[in-house]
Amino acid sequence: MKNNLLVTRPENDCATYYLSKWSEKVIKEAQNKGVRIIDLWRNKANRKRFIGTVIKSNPKLLFLNGHGDSDIVGGHNQEAILTIKDKNVVSCKIIYARSCRSGKILGNVLAAQGVVTYLGYKENFWLGYRLEKISKPLEDERAALFLEPSNYVILSLLKGHSAKDANSKSKALFAKNIEKLLIAGPTDENYGYRAALYWDMMNQVCLGNQNATF
C-alpha cells in the first residue's frame, strides 16, 4: 500500500501564495509516483481539519507550508495548526515544515517525543522574489533560487532517500545556487541574494531519526 502525503497550502498573503504555488510542483511529482495526496488548500488548511485529517488518514509524511514561529506552524490566516501539544497526533510521522523558526523549539520537542523526523528551519526562512512576478510565482526565477532547493527535501524523500540525505541534497542545491551567483558576480541582478540563500541553507535542520524514509 502506498503511503499518504499530506500538504498544507494556506494562501492568505503573497508569501503563502508563493509557497502554495511552488508546492504544486511537489504534488505533481508525488502524483506521478502514485502517492496519495491529501491537499489542505487555502481555508482547508485550518487546525480542526488538519488534526482531523492526520488522525483519520494517517499520512506518513506531512509537508507544511505557512508562517511559523519557534513553537508553532501556521495555516490559513496564520491560525496555529501544529503546536507542541499535538505531539500524540503527529507521532510516527515525518514532517517537513517550510515555515519560519519552527525547527528551533517545536521540531526539537516533537522529534524527542514521538515524531520520527522533523525537517525545518531554526530561524526565519528568507525568500527572495521579483515584484513583477508576484501574480505568477512559478515564473519567478529569483524565488526559484530558494524554493527549488527547499522543494527538494520532499522530492528526495519521495525518491526513497533517507531524511538525512534529503536534507543534505537540498542543502547541496542551495550551495549550487550560491555558487552560480558567485560565479556570475556583482553584475548579476540576483547576486544580492547569496547571503540569504546561505542563511536558509545553514538554518535548515533535520531532527530525530536521520535514517527515516517515506
Partner 1 sequence: MAEEIKREEHVISEGLKDLVIERLEILPSDLKFFIGSDGKELSKKDLIDSVKRGDDVGQQVVEMEMSFLRALKDGVLLEEILSSEQ
Contact 201, 171 (CB under 8 A): yes
- Torsions phi, psi for 146 (to 5 deg): -95, -40
CA distance 107 to 123: 12
Q: Which amino acid is present at 187? A: T
Grouping H, G, I as helix, E, B as strand and the rest as coil, residue 206 is strand
CA distance 158 to 35: 9
The span of 21-29, 34-42, 46-54, 172-180 binding partner 1 (CB under 8 A) equals: 172-180
Roughly what angle, to the nearest 10 degrees, separates helices 141-158 and 163-184?
160
Nearer to partner 1, 87 or 130 (CB): 130
The span of 13-21, 35-43, 54-62, 152-160 binding partner 1 (CB under 8 A) equals: 13-21
Answer for which of 4, 8, 16, 150 binds partner 1 (CB under 8 A) is 16
CA end-to-end distance (rounded Å), the chain: 12
Strand pairing report for 72-74 and 68-69: antiparallel
The span of 23-31, 47-55, 56-64, 199-207 binding partner 1 (CB under 8 A) equals: 199-207
The span of 11-19, 49-57, 89-97, 154-162 binding partner 1 (CB under 8 A) equals: 11-19
Residue 2 found at the interface with partner 1 (CB under 8 A): no
Task: Look up residue 110 and give its three cell numbers.
Answer: 516533537
Nearer to partner 1, 11 or 86 (CB): 11
Residue 179 found at the interface with partner 1 (CB under 8 A): yes
Minimum distance, C-beta of residue 178 to partner 1, in the bound complex (Å): 7
Nearer to partner 1, 60 or 171 (CB): 171
Residue 138 found at the interface with partner 1 (CB under 8 A): no
- Phi-psi region at 213: left, alpha or beta (left = phi > 0; alpha = psi -120 to 50): beta
Q: Which residues bind partner 1 (CB under 8 A)?
A: 13-16, 18, 67-69, 74, 78, 100-101, 123-131, 142, 171-173, 175-176, 178-179, 186, 189, 191-196, 198-199, 201-202
